Chains A and B, each alone.
Chain A
Amino acid sequence: MKFHDSLIGAILLAFGFWVVVTALGYPQMPGQSIGPGTFPSVLGALFIAGGALLTISGLRTRGTTLLDIDPGWRHADRLAAALLATVGAVLLALVFESVGFPLGGFVLVTALFVLSGYRHPIWIGVSAVFVLAVYLLMTRLLYVPLPAGLLKGIL
């Protein structure tokens, strides 16, 4: 997924201005000319300068599109797998305590197997055994308090 350099430059330019404005709003340390905003202001200036240079060099490059999408993204199953791996993981994080890792992880891994083309029932078993093994390893051996969630009474 390639964006045109001028577009990235413009985003960086806007981000840099936001950083500078926010950082300048932080109070200075008493009796000093510096404060918590000094370092972020320098970074903001770097983004503004970098963004401007990238925009200019991007505008000089002709014949390229604003967004070049890899052919893989045009396959519905691949797009769904990538979205599930990212957005799905965030959604799982939101319900991690209530649903729990064993069930949430099992659903996520099984769905990813299905979307990757592994649809034989054996893969359901593979995800169940794998997620359970990870859960037991982390909770019993390493004492990481992974939430059991809905399976609290069983595990």
Chain B
Amino acid sequence: MVLQHLDAALELVLTWDMFVVMLSCALFGLFVGAVPGLSATMATALLVPLTFFMDPVPAIAAIVATAAMAIFASDIPAALIRIPGTAASAAYVDDLSALTRMGKVGRALGISVAASAIGGVFGSLVLMFAAPQLALVSLNFTSFEYFWLALLGLSAAVMLGSASILKSLISLGLGLMIASVGMDTTSGLPRFTFGLPSLLDGVAFVPALIGMFAIPELIRTFVHRDTVPSVAPIGNPLVLFRGLGGVLWRHKWNLARSSTIGTTIGILPGAGSDIAAWISYAVSKKFSKFPKTYGKGSEEGLVDACAANNSALSGAYVPALVFGIPGDSITAIVIGVLYIKGLNPGPMVFLTSGDKITAIFLVFLLANLLIVPLGLLAVALAAQVLRVPKLVLAPLILCFCIVGSYSIDASASGIVIMVVLGVLAYLMEENGFPVAPTILGIVMGLLVEQNLVTSLIKSDGSFVGFVERPIAAGLALVVAIVWTVPLWLWWRQGRKRSEELHT
């Protein structure tokens, strides 16, 4: 499919408009990623209102470029002031920081730039060739398979996250509950609208997203006022590439392994780059000849985790484009944008809009290749960016949040939704409830409910129909494994601990 639509896709991608969009969004992503405490997801959420005014391909290009750059740039504060910008960079923050203390900050960030780019390109290539094949298979899927797939995505978000399973499950329930507000699509009955006409169409996705990612950060900035430690000097950014070729060649198998792990984890619905980085780092340590150097400036560990981090980002787009099931919070945002643009994700989009989908694949390659030149720029400007106090940016970000929430349908109700859900997200995070499952719940609520109701009608209310078809049964089995294995491991650990206490 890729080769068939390559010419048309190149025409869509190789334009000055696309160049300006990708470059400016990449710079925006670099800035947000390099400011400690501002996340790639928040950058993406703030960008969504602007994408309304773009064609589908530039809109997705804007998000991809922003996210890829912000995730890479979050390694900069991790190296310079030991503050991980994302949950993924927390996996290797000690190594980045230790290399900086050894005077090897250029080497540390050089590995981060190169490994991120290589991992990202690898993930993009897998996306280009695996997604269309998977789409062909999924043409035979019915509501039963889609129900199980959606449930698999939601289950993975709950079971594979780092928070408590119970709290993740409740967070997911809240997201699904928010998604069920508004007119029921099957019967047309208003549900949980409290008589408010503005809620008849449901809770607007964009204000919800902006609120849940930006408002908690802003409240924390205003209230906690964390001070940023002083910045270590970087010097000439070109030192990034000194001796880098040798390091990458020495660890070529690590690059291949971690890119594969990252992409595979990214493809799993609900599991994103943070899990990929942590698992890849753990695998790297397990098979390394020098496991004791991990956490103390290991270049090997850094190569593995950085490559996995960005390859997972591309991998997450496979379930997003083929099934409309997000791989992580950023792809959840992308799915929302695709729906708004009329490019509804699913197997049919590969047949009806092959040129646009191929153009999106090319955008992935470009965005990941852009990491190298812009990474240099980011490192050169990092010291200045890190000196900007977050407290100065907070009122300006709030201003963007208000404008973004209003612009979705020119209604002030969007601002209210943003604030209410933002405060809820702040309270959730403060009390150990992760926000990502809630976002997945909001995005996938309709998909889960529609496929559940359709399947129940088809099977006359019997649950046997849900496992009669072979693929549906296979997916049901995977869901069962996702639920039982972590619970079994948790139970076994608890038993071991109590046995140790008794002896």
Q: CB within 8 Å of B: which residues of A?
A: 1-3, 5, 8, 12, 19, 22-23, 26-27, 29, 32-40, 43, 46-47, 50-51, 53-54, 57, 70, 72-73, 78-79, 81-82, 85-87, 89-90, 92-94, 96-97, 101, 105, 108-109, 112-113, 115-118, 127, 130-131, 134, 138, 142-146
Contact = CB atoms under 8 A, between A and B. Distances in A.
Interface of B: 49-50, 52-53, 166-167, 169-170, 173, 176-177, 180, 184, 186-187, 189, 191-192, 215, 218-219, 222-225, 391-392, 394-396, 398-403, 406-407, 410, 412-413, 415-416, 418-420, 422-423, 426-427, 430-431, 448-449, 452-453, 456-457, 461
B406 A146 contact: yes
Contacts of B449: 39
A109 B399 contact: yes
A46 B452 CA distance: 16
Main secondary structure of the interface of B (DSSP, over half): helix
A130 B402 contact: no
A78 B169 contact: no
Contacts of B399: 105, 108-109, 130-131, 134
Contacts of B453: 34, 38-39
Contacts of A27: 187, 189
Nearest to A53: B166
7 contacts: A1-B426, A50-B170, A54-B170, A86-B419, A87-B419, A90-B419, A142-B52
B177 to A, nearest CB: 5
Given A89-B402, A131-B399, 5 more contacts: A8-B431, A29-B187, A39-B449, A47-B170, A146-B407
Q: Which 8 A-B pairs have the closest CB atoms?
A: A112-B395, A93-B415, A36-B184, A72-B223, A81-B222, A96-B412, A93-B412, A144-B407
Contacts of A32: 457, 461
Given A2-B431, A26-B189, A47-B170, A94 B412 contact: yes
Given A40-B192, A72-B225, A89-B398, A138 B430 contact: no
B406 A43 contact: no
B222 A82 contact: yes
Nearest to A130: B396
Contacts of A117: 391
B173 A47 contact: yes
A101 B394 contact: no
B215 A86 contact: yes
A85 B219 contact: yes
Contact of B191 (A40, A81, A94, A143): A40
Nearest to A110: B395
B410 A116 contact: no
Contacts of B223: 70, 72-73, 78-79, 81-82
Interface centre among B398, B400, B423 (most CB of A within 10 A): B398
B395 A138 contact: no
Given A116-B395, A127-B395, A134 B403 contact: yes
Interface centre among B49, B431, B461 (most CB of A within 10 A): B431
B300 to A, nearest CB: 39
B225 A46 contact: no
A86 B180 contact: no
A90 B407 contact: no
Contacts of B413: 93
A46 B407 CA distance: 35
A148 B431 CA distance: 40
Contacts of A73: 223
Given A2-B430, A34-B456, A116 B461 contact: no
B447 to A, nearest CB: 12
B410 A145 contact: yes
A135 B78 CA distance: 35
Contact of B427 (A1, A116, A130, A144): A1
Contacts of B452: 38-39
The winner among B53, B398, B399 for most chain A CB atoms within 10 A is: B399
Contacts of A39: 176, 180, 448-449, 452-453
Contacts of B461: 32-34
B363 to A, nearest CB: 21
A90 B222 contact: no
A51 B166 CA distance: 9
A72 B392 contact: no
B403 A36 contact: no
Nearest to B188: A36
Contact of A144 (B169, B218, B225, B403): B403
A117 B227 CA distance: 14
